[in-house]
């Protein structure tokens, strides 16, 4: 029973991560994402600070959830 629960948690994490990556991709391709990137580029030129668009957070969070989900699914049983 415990193995089934572990796989369920892993599947939920991987699904949530894939959904975040999908949302990030949709945001990056939208008009709002393009405008955000253009505004970031202009602001970077003026003050030299490094900024990232908000959709990058979706990519990073989604990737982290997918990796954690894979690790949960592949983790060996500790006796």
**Greatest mean pLDDT range, 6-10, 20-24, 42-46:** 20-24
Tell me the two tokens of residue 42.
Answer: 């202009």
Q: What are the domain boundaries of the chain? A: 2-74
Which token pair is 13?
């994490």
| Helices vs strands, H then E, count in the chain | 3, 0
Burial grade of 6 (CB within 10 A; 0-12, 13-18, 19 or more): middle
How much of the chain, in percent, has pLDDT values that exceed 90?
A: 47
| Residues 34-68 pLDDT 10s | 888 888 888 888 887 888 888 899 999 999 999 99
Q: Whole-structure pTM over 0.85, yes or no?
A: no
Question: Rounded to an integer, what distance in angstroms lies between the CA atom of residue 60 and that of residue 66?
Answer: 10
Among residues 72, 64, 75, the alpha carbon closest in space to that of 11 is found at 72
């Amino acid at each position: 029973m415990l193995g089934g629960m572990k796989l369920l948690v892993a599947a939920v994490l991987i699904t949530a991560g894939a959904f975040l990556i999908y949302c990030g991709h949709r945001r990056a391709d939208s008009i709002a994402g393009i405008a955000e990137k253009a505004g970031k580029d202009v602001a970077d030129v003026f003050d030299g600070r490094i900024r990232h668009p908000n959709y990058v957070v979706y990519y990073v969070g989604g990737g982290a959830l997918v990796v954690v989900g894979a690790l949960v699914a592949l983790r060996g049983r500790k006796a």
